[in-house]
A and B are shown apart, each in its own frame.
Chain A
Amino acid sequence: MSVPVLEMKNISKSYYGTQVLKEINLTVKQGEIHCLVGENGAGKSTLMNILFGMSVISQTGGYEGELVINGDIREFGSPKEAIAAGIGMVHQEFMLLPGFSVTENIKLNREVTKPNFVSKVFGHKLESLDRRKMAQDARTSLDKLGMSIDEWVPVAGLPVGHLQFVEIAREIDKGNLQLLVLDEPTAVLTESEAEQFLEVIQRLANSGISIMFITHRLDEVMAVADTITILKDGELVKSAPRQSFTIAQIAELMVGRKVQTSGRIGVHGKPAKDGGAQKRLLEVRDLKVNMPGERLRGVDLDVFEGEILGIGGLAGHGKIALANGIMGLYPSGGQVRFNMIDLPLNNPKAALDLGLAFVSEDRRGVGLVLEDSIANNIVLTSMQTQEKFLKPGPFKLKDITGIEEHARRAIQQFDIRCTGPDQIVRRLSGGNQQKVCLARAFTQEPKLLFVSEPTRGIDIGAKTRVLELISELNRRFGVTIIITSSELAELRSISDRIAIIYEGKLAGILAPDAPDVAYGLLMAGKSPEEVGVQ
């Protein structure tokens, strides 16, 4: 047995006191396909950043543990050093110049040159390009991948799938490549392209290059992996050969955590499953939302009056687009009926007029006017759409005392920690800003409230309070709530039902107390029946 290409020994890393990686040990052998799976935030990217010497790591205090490449302990200060050591990386976003040809992209900054008259006088920086040699090199790399595309075509017109191959060809062309890291390479590919892609990486692995493959698609993992490593909350759950896993087990290990599924269903005595007797408040049919990076490709969903519906799924699969689409903030198509009335899409005013409210995931960008006071932020939307907080009379002057009184009540009710209603919102902490957003939405007295990522970027104490507030709005005032979150545990703690979105479509709806396996599978695009789990 030869020396492993990569060994990670007891790697730990924390950002500002939050531990994101805890004593990770893993080994990648030569010519092996090593799959790394885990939810968003499990620590995969951080691990890869450490491996690749990204500056975020050194700037935040470095890491603990050892990185052993081919038997030598290494610590990379920059990606350049990592590349020199034979590590290549293909990112999710393509880093190619569209106007350049395939060859030029592959050879970018590593062009083959030959001396000429000028360079003999002024130095080798002025040597001319050896295009023949460059094209040959590019061809060789492409052939290794089994790619038939011509090396001289410009990258601009190539299909997405081919771009991925050009990126890989570039890595191979570096010559000393030993370990290739692929970060969710198949996310942008069609099914047939993905299949072809998997063949290519197998071929690469057979030629002796080790591959670290990060993906959310579990069938791909089962198809190509030699070894599978599962990360969860910064810890390594299990690392073992593929044969020792089933899809269901991977799914369960990925998701499972100490969830205290609250007794919400029992307490409120509401039927968690589709009860025919309940009134449908919102009917969504074939909703498509063109939100960059979070595209929704046709979702059918019913929301019942008085429930809290959770929307979950991995980042980039479109869960956030549902609320943004219905509220008219991104171009969308399909049918949405609210309270038996057709809701016109792409029209924020219409949605607000019908009694919908939205707490955006982009708190600072969409949710607040940062330079304005707490009081104004709370009343602005209601004032503009419902003519509240205006003095009677033809001039529609704002009712300063009314606004301040309302703001004081809201500050108390929502427990906003501030110096007073006049404080500028920018100066508040994330959690208190979020409470201002909720207070604004609540001031609109909505029938249906969308809350997106309510706890993102706020501290733990405020998190609990925000979630309590949301469920209080539901319980005391009967507001139907659709809450979108990346944190499954959070959804499971307050929702009646949870819809999982996978690749822009509804994968399924689960009860909050459904087993971890079911969640893991739906988030990976598998229905539980398909795999044979109950």
Chain B
Amino acid sequence: MKDQLGKVYRAIGLPRLIISLFLLALIFVALGTELSVADLLSDSLVRVGMNGIFVLAMVPSIQAGVGLNFGLPVGVICGIVGTLIAMELSLIGFGGFFVALGLAIPLAIISGYLYSLLLNRVVGQEMMVGTYVGFSVVAGMCIFWLLAPFKNPAMIWAIGGSGLRVTLTLADNFAGVLNSSLAFKFLGLNIPTGLLLMLGLVSFLLWLFFRSKPGVAMEVVGRNPRFAIASGLQLNTYRSLGVVLSTVLGAVGYVVYAQSFGFVQLYMAPLMMAFPAVAAVLIGGASTKEATVLQALIGVVLFQTLLTVAMPVTNQLIQGNISEIARVIVSNGMILYALTRTTGGEQA
């Protein structure tokens, strides 16, 4: 019995145990307030679905030995461009959604490859360099948003008539197409079936990839580059593949995120998008060297539920807007914690 418990404990790991217990405590507290727990959990499901693919995007880069993909905004920008073009063409419903994806993915492949060429030149510094690549790309794209030749009057500034607005609504295009499809109510919870199916599908494909020959090769490259060379593998090829996959997932993740959110936010909005995803995958038990699809999923559930539940509950209990501060402390603290340890896996 004791052995069994020990095994379970080791499999879960202390950080996840603490966070889960904290989460449960918050939900109990919420029960005692006038907040609707069902609504909180429904919101959590939506946020898990919205952010899940961003978190999955961390897995290929970690497994290829590049580390956490702090340059996720590179993929996000591709997703934004795809979405914007679909909007410019006034496409609606699933048509718009798939056109946005269809445009975003090739863009992400190209930009991901270019980004990987840079990362392959800075081996050992990828995470640091990636962070600044993300920042630079977001800043650089600000000029593009101003100069891009979009003509749809719903998208450009009303006065002056050129340059994209800061926040665009997707309400007339494909806002909520996934969230509302096949959605049903269960015990007072709104289940966004389409959104969760999308996350499930992407997770399954990624899991399948890591069981294929190139996926196995990528793992070997990440785990022991010298063994990989001795087995005739080209390190840079698989590192690039990992970065491209991660960037593509970032782009797909954005389109899914945008349809759920209902808005596209431009200019400096994508700047910090990598950080919640990084924090989530680390909370899930990944390290900078090892990550699995399951860890990403566990991580996004814990992290997003915590945020969704913690904010209103703390607002109820404490006057003033402490919850936003708490969120920043939790997510950045988690990143700090995980980056200082190299082991990960079972001990993380």
Residue in A327, A369, A400 whose CB lies within 8 Å of B220: A369
- Supposing A369-B223, A369-B224, A384-B216 touch, asked if A329 and B211 sit within 8 A by C-beta, the answer is no
| B227 pairs with A396, CB closer than 8 A | no
Interface flag for A159 (CB, 8 Å)? no
In the complex, what residues of A have CB within 8 A of residue B212's CB? 395-398
Nearest residue (CB) in B for A387 is B213
Contact partners of A429 in chain B: CB under 8 A: none
Q: Is the CB of B213 within 8 A of A384?
A: yes
Residues of A within 8 A of B233 (CB): 349, 384
CB contacts under 8 Å to B, within A364-383, are 365-372, 376, 380-381, 383
A238 CB to nearest chain B CB (Å): 43
A202-210, A255-263, A352-360, A507-515 - the one binding chain B:
A352-360
Contact B227 A383 (CB under 8 A): no
B224 touches A370 (CB 8 A): yes
B231 contacts A398, C-beta separation under 8 Å: no
Tally of chain B residues near chain A (CB < 8 A):
21
Say yes or no: A380-B213 contact (C-beta < 8 A), given A368-B224, A372-B223, A397-B208. no
Q: Does B217 contact A (CB under 8 A)?
A: yes
Decide yes or no whether A390 CB sits under 8 A from chain B: yes
From A368, which residue of chain B is reached at the shortest CB distance? B227
Closest to B232 in A: A349
Given contacts A390-B213, A397-B212, contact A384 B231 (CB under 8 A): yes
Q: Which residue from chain A places its CB closest to the CB of B209 in the assembled complex?
A: A395
Q: Could you tell me if A371 and B223 are in contact, using CB atoms closer than 8 angstroms?
A: yes
A369 to B224, CA, bound (A): 6
A348 at the interface (CB under 8 A from B): yes
**Shortest Cβ gap from A503 to chain B (Å):** 27
The smallest beta-carbon distance between A407 and chain B, in angstroms, is 15
Q: Does B43 contact A (CB under 8 A)?
A: no
Q: Does B290 contact A (CB under 8 A)?
A: yes
Residue B31 is within 8 A (CB to CB) of chain A in the complex: no
Q: Which of B185-213 contact A (CB under 8 A)?
A: 208, 211-213
Q: Chain A, 380-411, contact with B by CB distance < 8 Å: what is the 0/1 string?
A: 11011101001000011110100000000000
With the chains together, A315 CA to B290 CA distance in Å? 36
A residues 309-362 with Cβ under 8 Å of B?
327, 329, 348-349, 351-353, 358, 360, 362
Q: A352-B232, A384-B232 are in contact. Are A367 and B227 (CB under 8 A)?
A: yes
- Consensus secondary structure, chain B interface: helix
Proximity string of chain A (494-519) to chain B, C-beta cutoff 8 Å, 1 when within and 0 when not: 00000000000000000000000000
Q: In whole angstroms, what is the CA distance A383 to B216 when docked?
A: 9
For A352, A368, A398, the residue with the greatest tally of chain B CB atoms inside 10 Å of its CB is A398
CB pair A383–B224 under 8 Å, yes or no, is: no
A121 to B186, alpha carbons, bound, how many Å?
A: 83
Q: Which residues of A contact B227 (CB under 8 A)?
A: 366-369, 380
B contact residues around A360 at 8 Å (CB):
230
Partner of B216, one of A348, A365, A395, A398: A398
**Contact code string B216-260 (vs A, CB < 8 Å = 1, else 0):** 110110011011011111100000000000000000000000000
A348 contact from B217, B224, B232, Cβ within 8 A: B232
| Complex alpha-carbon distance, A429 and B214, angstroms | 30
Which of B213, B217, B230 is A358 in contact with, Cβ under 8 Å? B230
Q: Are A383 and B230 in contact (CB under 8 A)?
A: no
Distance in Å from the Cβ of A373 to the closest Cβ of chain B?
12
B231 near A329 (CB under 8 angstroms)? no
The CA of A365 and the CA of B230, in the complex, are separated in Å by 11
**CB-CB < 8 A to A351: which residues of B?**
232
Q: Which of B213, B223, B229, B231 contacts A396 (CB 8 A)?
A: B213
Name the distance in Å between B278's Cβ and chain A's nearest Cβ.
21
Q: Nearest-CB distance from A322 to chain B (Å)?
A: 15
Q: How far is the CA of A398 from the CA of B208 in the complex (A)?
A: 10
How many angstroms between the C-alpha atoms of A381 and B208 in the bound complex?
20
For A444, the closest partner residue in chain B by CB is B231
> Which of A360, A387, A396 has most B Cβ within 10 Å?
A396
**Does B230 contact A384, Cβ atoms closer than 8 Å?**
no
A267 to chain B, nearest CB (A): 33
Complex alpha-carbon distance, A418 and B223, angstroms: 22
B229–A329 CB distance below 8 A: yes
> Do residues B214 and A366 form an inter-chain contact, with CB atoms below 8 A?
no
B6 to chain A, nearest CB (A): 17
Q: Are B223 and A398 in contact (CB under 8 A)?
A: no
Distance (whole angstroms) from the CB of A496 to the closest CB of chain B = 26
**Nearest residue, chain A, Cβ from B231:** A381
Contacts of B224 in A (CB 8 A): 365-366, 368-370
How would residues 89 to 127 of chain B score, 1 for a CB under 8 Å from any chain A CB and 0 otherwise? 000000000000000000000000000000000000000
Q: In the complex, A366→B232 CA distance in Å?
A: 12
Most buried by A among B212, B214, B224, B226: B224
Q: Which residues of B contact A (CB under 8 A)?
A: 208, 211-214, 216-217, 219-220, 223-224, 226-227, 229-234, 290, 345
Provide 6 A-B residue pairs closer than 8 Å at the C-beta atoms, listed in order of the A residue.
A370-B223, A380-B227, A384-B217, A396-B212, A396-B213, A397-B211
What residues of chain A have their CB less than 8 Å away from a CB belonging to chain B? 327, 329, 348-349, 351-353, 358, 360, 362, 365-372, 376, 380-381, 383-385, 387, 390, 395-398, 400
Given pairs A362-B226, A387-B213, A395-B208, 15 additional interface contacts (CB within 8 A): A348-B231, A349-B233, A366-B227, A369-B224, A369-B227, A370-B223, A370-B224, A371-B290, A371-B345, A376-B216, A384-B216, A384-B217, A384-B233, A385-B232, A400-B211
